[in-house]
Amino acid sequence: MLTKVIEQNKIDHFAKWLNHAEKIVIVSHISPDGDAIGSSLGLKHFLETQDKSVSIIVPNAFPDFLKWMPGSKEIFLYDRHRDIANKLLAGADLICCLDFNALNRIEAMKGALQASPARKILVDHHLHPEAFCQIIISHPEISSTSELVFRLICRLGHFDEITKEGAECIYTGMMTDTGGFTYNSNNREIYFIISELLSKGIDKDAIYRNVYNTYSESRLRLMGHVLTQMKVYPEHHAAMISLTKKEQGQFNYIRGDSEGFVNIPLSIKGVIFTCFLREDTERPMIKISLRSVGTFPCNKVAAEVFNGGGHLNASGGEFYGTMEEAKQLFEKALEKYKPLLTAKG
């Protein structure tokens, strides 16, 4: 049995909205990850069983390793289909915002979302949600938005309407936001939910292979290169990896090729904090990814040093400047946070 995580009044409110909504749009964040796509598709598959007309819009492309997901081909990318997307947003009865807590996380879509007269609901697990929706279902203690979508559907009384396809999408989001259930995944209810999803006929082993074992040769070689260049800071229990545009060119880099790299240095004994700096291919900036294990708050570093944010153990930000400057900033942060990084326990 599952704990009733989502407040009853919000379930009732949303159920009422659903009764009256025909055209529903689901929106998720820039550079969508497995949870963004998984939660969006999981909700779409369910809503379609309720005879709703449902569209998903995300700001830009998502990685190839998510393209096997049922329904992923119908997702609109705002940067390619702006006119259609604007019409869908303006004409929606209901907009469901999934897996983001702030309007700037949807970048160019922000204006069209705000301007739409549709009712809006947020379902998310990031800290400190902005108040841009009338119903806000925000649970940072839950490890993925996909899990929240499962809980929402169940609380609406529709577990039976979750299809195998919907279950595959929800499982994918839960799996990717916990690194294959290796972090943020000690809540035993997660495993109850997995059991329920398995009852829908999903093949979780195949899903794992679809997502994680789809490397191209050049991606694996890029990983080898990045790790060879890695800098380790034993005294700070930290490590840093980076990827310049030049290196991306050398290894035929395509979007998504460096997904997950940031986690690898955490497998070094003693390392509890890692940073990955990647020169963006489209914008003149460096994308920062931070990860930690235990209580070290990498979101604090992201907010303070890289104008970003995120979760305690997974955060990110942006830096406008050179790679060298970004590295120096990170090293300065390591010095500042040394007491926390080396604290026992």
Q: Which residues bind Mn ion (CB under 5 A)?
A: 35, 99, 145, 177
Paired strand residues for 290:
275, 315
**Which is closer to ligand 5GP, CB of 86 or CB of 315?**
315
Contact 276, 312 (CB under 8 A): no
Closest approach of Mn ion to the CB of residue 34, in Å: 8
Closest approach of Mn ion to the CB of residue 143, in Å: 8
**Which is closer to ligand 5GP, CB of 237 or CB of 287?**
287
- Nearest by Cα to 99 from 319, 313, 310: 310
Closest approach of ligand 5GP to the CB of residue 88, in Å: 25
**Which is closer to ligand 5GP, CB of 105 or CB of 236?**
105
What is the identity of the amino acid at 277? L
Give me the half-sphere count of Cα atoms (radius 13 Å) on the Cβ side of residue 128: 6
**Which is closer to Mn ion, CB of 35 or CB of 165?**
35
Closest approach of Mn ion to the CB of residue 145, in Å: 5
CA distances from 345 to 296, 333, 340 (A): 10, 21, 10
d(CA 191, CA 197): 10
Closest approach of ligand 5GP to the CB of residue 130, in Å: 11
d(CA 233, CA 221): 24
By a kind-dependent CB cut-off of 5 to 8 A, residue 310 interacts, out of Mn ion, ligand 5GP, none, with ligand 5GP
Tokens 């025909």 sit on residue: 22
By a kind-dependent CB cut-off of 5 to 8 A, residue 92 interacts, out of ligand 5GP, Mn ion, none, with none
Contacts of residue 17, defined as CB under 8 A and 6 or more positions apart, other chains included, come to 94, 119, 121, 135
Binding site for ligand 5GP (CB under 6 A): 126, 262, 289, 308-311, 314-318
**Which is closer to Mn ion, CB of 222 or CB of 288?**
288
Q: Is residue 120 packed enough to be buried (19+ CB in 10 Å), middle (13-18) or exposed (0-12)?
A: buried
Q: Is residue 265 packed enough to be buried (19+ CB in 10 Å), middle (13-18) or exposed (0-12)?
A: buried
Closest approach of Mn ion to the CB of residue 74, in Å: 21
By a kind-dependent CB cut-off of 5 to 8 A, residue 38 interacts, out of ligand 5GP, Mn ion, none, with none
By a kind-dependent CB cut-off of 5 to 8 A, residue 289 interacts, out of ligand 5GP, Mn ion, none, with ligand 5GP
**Which is closer to ligand 5GP, CB of 55 or CB of 145?**
145
